[in-house]
Structure 1
Amino acid sequence: MRRKAENRLEEIAEAAVTCFTDMGIKRTQMADVARTAGVSAGTLYLYVTSKEALFHLAILRVCGRPLDKLALPLADPGIGETVSIYAARVAEVAEWPALRAALAPGAKPDRATLAAIGGELYDMLHEARRAIWLLDHCAREVPEFDALLSTGMRSHYRDDIATVALKAAGRTGAPDTALRLAARLAIEIIAWAAMHRTKETTANLIDGLDEAGARKTATESFAAVLLAATGA
């Protein structure tokens, strides 16, 4: 009986991830998640107390947190706790040894270094793609998530990557606006190959492209865009 309850909670969590990713927080209704999970609205309330609690459950799911020990029905712990779980997951997957080494004083990064950094980004985004898709759709509705996404993630790494590109070109100083933009565009190359490519329709798929090929081409393009922007 307990196993059945655990499976049902996982099904509800998956349905919540799907609905919040597709529609955002405001548009998603409890009835939408119940319908997607194949349960009645009454059954849904046996597992969560509110839409806010349901969103927290979705965050737990995409962040790989265990659900079997949760006290049910799950109550809303507050947005601060929900954001902290996501931030902890970011810290777990954001491993940047090549980037950190390239930023160190005296380091002399080159094209291969940039490609390695692109590979680190690729692996991180591919691993965390469901969590990122969910956050991308909901961040504007939750200021705390928007701050985590824009300041704590995108702009910070963008500027670090631009700085390494400048070093790879044998130049010093702070990256200018054009190079920071190039770093943002280079990140998008990796993001498409690591994440968004996997959601393409059959008509848009690239024949013969496998995971290894996508990663290799994306990381090489990442390095090329950055070096071109430096004039190297």
Structure 2
Amino acid sequence: MARKKTPQKVEDIAEAAIACFTDMGIRRTQMADVAKAAGVSAGTLYLYVTSKEALFHLAVLKVCGRALDGLTLPLADPGMKATAAVFAARTAEVRNWPSLDNALKPKGRIENGTLLQIGRELYDMLHEARRAIWLVDRSSPEIAEFEQLHARDLRARHRDQLASVALKAAGRKGSPSPQLRLAARLGIEIVAWAAMHRLRESAPNRITGLSETDARETAAEAFAATLTDAAAK
């Protein structure tokens, strides 16, 4: 029979799991690593989750903003498809990209500031979902369901959509070249670094005095310039 445990301990274990899986990936992370990070014994950890896969599901639930207080404990592994579905649902929740959606319409207008606004909206989404993305970035090469969802269904699709919009903004027709698709990918990485990865920089590498507002605007400007220059060639 499942036993109800301390809600705060569930939260602590979930946070420890996020940290360990984000740092080491799912294969290298051991239950003992998470137990140590959470300040509990390995035996206690198994009162909350039945396996490492269940622990990973708990981490995904937490990082995707799902409530943990109603879970049946010890949490069982629902299967990686169910875990990936949690991330997919969270992705849909945080997606707020009206500038890109409008630009992709057959009669969508692209003005001088459209690419800049697309970059700003991308920044906002990545910044909000950064912990989930860090976790999935580290784990997706080891998990087929996450690799399909994150690398191909999301990254590749957005890259090609942005390349198409950049071509449209340049007043050109046809399919984006491989070089333009690369520029779109580089543009995404510019925004991703500013919105997420700079926050994990070591102290010597941090940019002192950089505000969130300035980071957002500088990243969006660099994003727009990268796509504009590539589309003009």
* Superposition misfits of 4+ residues, deviation over 4 angstroms: none
Contact kept? 1:16, 1:55, Cα under 8 Å: yes
- Identity between Structure 1 and Structure 2 (%): 62
Contact kept? 2:102, 2:108, Cα under 8 Å: yes
Q: RMSD value over aligned CA atoms?
A: 1.5
**How many angstroms does 1:174 deviate by?**
1.1
Residues 75-114 of structure 1 mapped to structure 2, 5 A cutoff: 75-114=76-115
- For 2:202 and 2:85, the matched residues in 1 are separated by 34
Matched residue type, 2:226:
V
Q: Which residue of 1 aligns with 2:22?
A: 21
**How many angstroms does 1:4 deviate by?**
7.8
**How many angstroms does 1:106 deviate by?**
2.2
Q: Please tell me whether residue 136 in structure 1 is matched to residue 121 in structure 2.
A: no
Contact kept? 2:102, 2:109, Cα under 8 Å: no
Q: Which residue of 2 aligns with 1:49?
A: 50
Contact kept? 2:119, 2:224, Cα under 8 Å: yes
SS at match of 2:160: helix
Contact kept? 1:15, 1:36, Cα under 8 Å: yes
**How many angstroms does 1:110 deviate by?**
3.0
Runs of 5+ unmatched residues, structure 1 = none
Q: Which residue of 1 aligns with 2:31?
A: 30
**How many angstroms does 1:208 deviate by?**
1.6
Q: CA offsets, 1:147-203, max 9 Å, x none?
A: 101111101011111111111111111111010000000000000000001011111
SS at match of 2:124: helix
Q: Provide closer, same or farther for how the CA distance between residues 111 and 200 of structure 1 changes in structure 2, counting only shifts above 3 A.
A: farther
Contact kept? 1:53, 1:77, Cα under 8 Å: yes
Q: CA offsets, 1:119-153, max 9 Å, x none?
A: 11101100010110111111011111001011111
- TM-score, normalised to structure 1, is 0.97
Contact kept? 1:108, 1:167, Cα under 8 Å: no
Q: Which residue of 2 aligns with 1:187?
A: 188
- For 1:111 and 1:175, the matched residues in 2 are separated by 20
Contact kept? 1:139, 1:149, Cα under 8 Å: yes
